[in-house]
Amino acid sequence: MARRRQIYEGKAKILYQGPEPGTLVQYFKDDVTAFNHKKTGTITGKGVLNNRISEYFMLRLAEIGVPTHFVRRLNMREQLVREVEIIPVVVTVRNVAAGPFAERFGINEGTPLPRSIVEFYYKSNELSDPMVSEEHITAFGWATPQDIDDMLALALRINDFLSGLLQGVALKLIDFQVEFGRLYEESGEMRIVLADEISPDSCRLWDVDSNEKLDKDRFRQDLGRVEEAYQEVARRLGILPEGGPADLQGPETVQ
Ligand code: ADP
Ligand code: MG
């Protein structure tokens, strides 16, 4: 097999050049970081599960007309995506107060918000992703007002759809973050598409009855049973790899 060119290694994934122009391979690692790299670790099998979970969400979202970068899953840890120009703005949607947001506003964690709240953060490891307003985004040229409108509308549709889907498997979507990118069609037309991943790394998911946390907060807060939480989310979505968790130790890059 020809050696693939590694384009980027991030906190949770590695990007390789894809087989065709305009494509990339996203390799999902078991590495996990929190509090802007101050806490690092591994969650065994996380990469395999997040690859599946993100595939599942992206496919369901595409079915309702949300444009995404996802093309197809290649193997246990890799998926083929369309290369986009990432907009360096992380879009967060919150339904229930949790984490640093709850602290920031002095609201008890678990309090439902009066309505879904969208926030923007500038994607920058050096600066620890500071929260920004539309003013910062347009003034610094990270996105245009039209891009922001598109991201806002898409983020709220994603929120509505995923909230319902997850409710159906007894999970509450507390909040989540997404990244968008610009995709240039051959016609020269530009579209904003959902990129990166949607997984328990990027969402807060609580069991509807017990409020048990089934996401990366288990790692952040040393709650234990971290692997099991990711497996439980996949199990409820009906996408645990065949053979169950035993499969998770499988070959890492088979193509
Ligand atoms: P980070 O540590 O920067 O969050 P990750 O480990 O999440 O990185 O790796 C994924 C990286 O790839 C992110 O920087 C993300 O912005 C970028 N990315 C995700 N999807 C695409 C895509 N379709 N095209 C180009 N870059 C992408
Ligand atoms: Mg990331």
Interval 159-188: pLDDT, tens: 999 999 999 999 999 999 999 999 998 899
User: d(Cα 111, Cα 146) in Å, to the nearest integer?
Assistant: 32
pLDDT at residue 247 in the model: 55
pLDDT at residue 240 in the model: 86
Of the candidates 61, 116, 129, which has an alpha carbon nearest to the alpha carbon of residue 90? 129
Residue range 210-219, pLDDT digits in tens: 999 999 999 9
CA 10 to ligand 1 center in whole angstroms = 7
Mean pLDDT of the chain, nearest integer: 95
Atom of ligand 1 nearest to the CA of 29: 6
Q: Whose CA is nearest to atom 1 of ligand 1?
A: 10
Please indicate whether residue 60, judged by its CB atom, sits closer than 6 Å to ligand 1.
Answer: no
Confidence of residue 245 (pLDDT cuts 50, 70, 90): low
Residue range 187-228, pLDDT digits in tens: 999 999 999 999 999 999 999 999 999 999 999 999 999 999
Please indicate whether residue 12, judged by its CB atom, sits closer than 6 Å to ligand 1.
Answer: yes
Task: Give the tokens for residue 63.
Answer: 């079915």
Please indicate whether residue 34, judged by its CB atom, sits closer than 6 Å to ligand 1.
Answer: no
The helix/strand/coil state of 159 is: helix
Please tell me the pTM assigned to this model. Answer: 0.95
Please indicate whether residue 169, judged by its CB atom, sits closer than 6 Å to ligand 1.
Answer: no
Q: Radius of gyration over alpha carbons of the chain, in Å?
A: 18
Of the candidates 228, 255, 204, which has an alpha carbon nearest to the alpha carbon of residue 45? 228
User: d(Cα 195, Cα 211) in Å, to the nearest integer?
Assistant: 29
Helix, strand and coil percent figures for the chain, each rounded to 5: 30, 30, 40
